[in-house]
Amino acid sequence: MTFIFEGERIRLTVVSNDVLPQFAAWMSDFGLQRLVNPGMSVPHSEDDFLDPDGWFQGDLKNEKTRMFEVRTRSDDIFIGHCGIVNVNIFTHSAEIGINLAHPDYRGKGYGGESMRLTMRYGFEQLNLNRIYLRVMSFNTRAIRLYEKLGFQQEAREREVLFHDGIYFDQLLMGILRREWEAVNG
Amino acid sequence: MDDFAPLKGDDVRRGLKVYLDSISNATIEVLSNVPLSESLLYHLNDGNTPLTPISAKAVGQSYKEGGKLSFSLRLIENADLIGFCRFGDVGWQARHAQLHLSIVEEAYLTPEIVIDVLQTVLKLAYWEANLNRIAVHCIEDNTLLFEALKHTGFTNEGRLRDDVYRNGRYLDRFIFSILCREWENIIG
């Protein structure tokens, strides 16, 4: 059996504060924010992520969250975060999220590998029955990836996002444990 | 749609049968501490937490703590308190909200009342709160709410599979919504 936190090219590690100033700089990129932030686009400082009472550190401490750093195996470069949030221990469902913020590592298959590891962690370690995600309807590259990973589009929330003076839809996608097992044994 | 034909300038808090009122401590105090009936518990449970023997008073308290956009539901004919509603997850950027609705008097868990509550809440949401989208989540076994939403003109946007666990099995959760322009087209 392979180590649960290691893929072919990446590994999932504990989130450290050391990388957060770099992460904040990446996250201030307008184009990236459009793809990963459904809310209002705002510039970020490292304080947003380091503040012990802020949302990011709060998420890390939250029992319903399992967040990881994504690092390359070959040279241990930090390329982003991936994790499970909003774990519901009653329905055994949770949301998955990924943000490969490093501009040099987007669109090269690292996202899919990170997602597969995190999904396996969710189903095989957290004993989840359902993993879902939200994605903006215009993020077609991400939607194709999620479909390839086995997620099905379950709902389309109309006009729930607003950017650049235009309303956009948000897709809710989900995969069930039995569907995951059918493909991954 | 039925006799519901609101006009701008009407009291946005009043429907045909019900009206929206504030939730005061006195409002909650008149409610019973006795656990609600099984059918009401199913109606009230959102599927995110296990079924719990909750009382009408506890339901009222939870809505009171739900913020400014929480209301009690009263009958126009005699001012009897029959339930609560509130707007949650308000997104001011896209002007959307999710409606939570709880009837605590079993005699009023009827299509007529639920549809009137939905219509009244939409009037307030669109003509007073200036929202653009109202969503309602509906568990697949809640036939009354499902039909009331369709009757009021809500669009079924999809179903979240196995999103609810109840009585030893998984159920799906439907997401419904109606946009301001859709509602205004329906009411003429």
Q: Which residues in chain A are contacts of B162 at CB distance < 8 A?
A: 91, 93, 129-130, 176
> Is B161 in CB contact (< 8 Å) with chain A?
yes
DSSP 3-state of B58: helix
- Distance (Å) from the C-alpha of residue B169 to the closest C-alpha of chain A? 10
Specify the pairing of strand B133-139 against strand B96-103: parallel
d(CA A66, CA A177): 18
Q: Residue B38's pLDDT band (boundaries 50, 70, 90)?
A: confident
CB proximity A90 to B under 8 Å = yes
Residues of A in contact with B168 (CB under 8 A): none
In the stretch 93-122 of chain A, residues with CB closer than 8 A to chain B read 93
What CA–CA distances, in Å, run from B90 to A53, A137, A156, B63, B77?
23, 20, 18, 15, 31
**Tokens describing residue B110:** 């009827």
Task: Give dist(CA A86, CA A180) in Å, integer.
Answer: 20
Closest residue on chain A to B175 (Cα) = A155
A13 touches chain B (CB under 8 A): no
Query: Which residues 86-115 on chain B approach chain A with CB closer than 8 angstroms?
Result: 91, 93-96
Window 142-181 of A, Cβ < 8 Å to B: 152-162, 167, 172, 174, 176
ipTM of the complex: 0.92
**What is the residue-wise DSSP string for A100-166?**
---GGGTTSSHHHHHHHHHHHHHHHTS--SEEEEEEETT-HHHHHHHHHTT-EEEEEEEEEEEETTE
Cross-chain Cβ contact A157/B177 below 8 Å: yes
The answer to whether the Cβ–Cβ distance between B160 and A153 falls below 8 Å is no
Task: Specify the residue for token string 């339930």.
Answer: B83
Contact state of A156 with B48 under an 8 Å Cβ cutoff? no
| Residue B164 confidence (pLDDT) above 60 | yes
For range B135-164, the mean pLDDT: 97
> Closest partner residue to A158 among B160, B162, B179, by Cβ?
B179
Alpha helices in B45-179 (DSSP H): 56-64, 111-127, 143-152
**CB-based contact (8 Å) between B180 and chain A?**
no
Confidence of residue B2 (pLDDT cuts 50, 70, 90): low
Chain A residues touching B155 at Cβ < 8 A: 158
What is the model's pLDDT at position B45?
85
* pTM for this prediction: 0.93
Q: How far is A91 from chain B (nearest CA, A)?
A: 5
pLDDT tens column, B50-75: 888 999 999 999 999 988 899 999 99
- Spans of chain A, pLDDT less than 70: 1
Do B23 and B31 meet the contact criterion of CB atoms below 8 Å apart? no
Two tokens at A80? 């982003």
The pLDDT of residue A32 is: 87
How big is chain B by its Cα radius of gyration, in Å?
16
pLDDT score for A126: 96
Which phi-psi region, left, alpha or beta, contains residue A159 (left: φ > 0; alpha: ψ -120 to 50)? left
Tokens of A113: 């590998």
Nearest chain A residue to B93 by CA distance is A162
Q: How many alpha carbons lie under 13 Å from residue B133 in its C-beta half-sphere?
A: 24
Within 13 Å, how many C-alpha atoms sit on residue A169's CB side?
15
Q: Which of B74, B75, B77, B97 is nearest to B86 (CA)?
A: B97
pLDDT in tens, A139-182: 999 999 999 999 999 999 999 999 989 999 999 999 999 999 99
B42-59 as b/e: b if 16+ CB within 10 A: ebbbebeeeeeebebbbb
pLDDT above 70 (res B1):
no
